[in-house]
A and B are shown apart, each in its own frame.
Chain A
Amino acid sequence: MISLSSITRATLAKDLRLEWRSKDAINSMLFFSLLVVVIFSFVFNPTAEESRRIAGGLIWVAFLFAAVVALNQTWARELRNQVLDAYRISPAPANALFLAKALGNFIFVSVLEALMTPLFIVFYTLRALGPAYQLPIVAVLGTWALVVNGTFFAAMSLRTRAREIMLPLLLFPISIPALTGMVEATSAILTGEYSARFWIALLVAYDVVFTIACLLLFETVLHAE
């Protein structure tokens, strides 16, 4: 019996290698969020004071939209050559596959965030007035919140007609509390007017609840026939 972690590692390594060679997801996500940043700054044309207040919202909405690009192609790749069917009949634990996919998406979206954040700072002349060390914590928790449910719902929308449209329809309503948490925490840190503690706690609760839910339900969804 192959262990859970070795399957996760193998699948993750395969996905990363595929992405490294094609760079499909990361390039389209990068260009997409660049467009969002440029369009938003044309639309709002904010001053430094205003942008500090709205930047939290803009950043996360841009990342959310861009993440959908990566999430949509998570499973689509496995449909070719019936890879997913092969996985279904293999005795490998379903959660190993899920964790690999979720971690892969987490890495893609984190890379996107690392590359896009400097651009946001330049375009919106941002400077954190609050405790800036909390920003990476918020980024990690928020990204995981988007990615864990996104990977799960992408597996669900794979089974539907119009699957590319189905993913945001399923993901966005469920992500509302997480998005509120990320945006409020980021705004709190940027403006320094109030504490981000409550929102970070909310994100932790969201991550824990939905990671457990995904792991409990993924096998059922994968084997749904």
Chain B
Amino acid sequence: MKRAFPILAILTAGLLSYGLYEALVAAPTDQLQGNVYRIIYYHVPSAWTAFLMFLINFVASVTYLIRRNVKADAIAVVTAEVGVVYCTIVLVTGPLWARPVWGIWWTWDMRLTSTLVLWLIYVSYLFLRKFSSGSQTPVLAAALAIFGALDVPLVYFSIWFFRTQHPQPVIGGGGSIDPRMLHVMLLNWAAFLCFAGLVCWSRYRLEILQREVEETQALEALLDRRPQ
């Protein structure tokens, strides 16, 4: 297992650089938008990665509530943190792209709003984890994750009523995309996923170690007190 980490790191570095070259140089220029569209190679893969992270967080939270498995809770922490980072990238690159193409930075449309609300929920999730202490944290956090997951469809439907400005999803949404562009986008997604996996992995190890240290310290404090 220890050898797999550097291998994944090298693979990620290779994929990210190849993806960068493909996105900025090799991919064809968009007919309507020109070079501006190239931000799609960062915006869309980040969104997919963020949603995947939040999905894993939800599954890990439910698993924790059922099984009370410490590892599931560690996975939930890690995926929430990495998911928030990727979601932030989506929320920053989105307006940067929207301004030249739509002429506005932001609009309260279905996908934008639900992504923003998702981001808000997971930031509050991280706040909860930070502000609560002791062994009850995982249970509270898992409950909040379930509430968040229930909330997102409701947000989506509440905005559904308004006109939607965001383009249909390029895959499975009836939109059309040049196969060459799709190829570059999927390549970048693979690179982003590898990077997310890499960060999650080291963060997971850190989380487990941190918990071991805390346990040892608590035990030592208990043993120190006994002789007196």
Chain B residues within an 8 Å CB radius of A181: 158
* Cβ-based interface call for B5 (8 A): no
Interface-forming stretch among A80-88, A109-117, A120-128, A160-168?
A160-168
Binds A, one of B23-31, B87-95, B131-139: B131-139
B158–A217 touching, CB < 8 Å: no
Contact residues, B52-82 vs A (CB, 8 A): 65
> Is A217 a contact partner of B132 (Cβ separation < 8 A)?
no
* Chain B positions 162-221 with a Cβ under 8 Å from a chain A Cβ: none
A173 with B124: CB separation less than 8 A:
yes
Contacts of B40 in A (CB 8 A): none
Chain A interface residue count, CB cutoff 8 Å, equals: 30
Interface bits A150-176 vs B (CB < 8 Å: 1, else 0): 000000100111100010011011101
Q: B interface, how many residues as a size bin? A: 20 to 34
Q: Are A174 and B148 in contact (CB under 8 A)?
A: yes
> Taking the complex as formed, is B105 at the interface, i.e. its CB lies under 8 A from any CB of chain A?
no
Given that A159-B132, A170-B128, A174-B121 are known contacts, is A206 also in contact with B143, CB under 8 Å in the complex? no
Q: State in angstroms the CA–CA spacing of A118 and B120 once bound together.
A: 34
B154 CB-CB contact with A under 8 Å: yes
Contacts of A170 in B (CB 8 A): 124, 127-128, 144
Residues of chain A from 182 to 213 with CB closer than 8 A to chain B in the complex: 184, 198, 202, 205-206, 209-210, 213
B121: A residues at CB distance < 8 A: 173-174
Cβ–Cβ < 8 Å partners of B140 in chain A: 156, 159-160, 221, 224
Question: Which residues of B pack against A, CB within 8 Å?
Answer: 65, 117, 120-121, 123-124, 127-128, 131-133, 135-136, 139-140, 143-144, 146-148, 150-151, 154-155, 157-159, 161
Additional A-B contact list (4), CB under 8 Å, known A161-B132, A166-B127, A225-B136: A169-B127, A198-B161, A217-B146, A224-B135
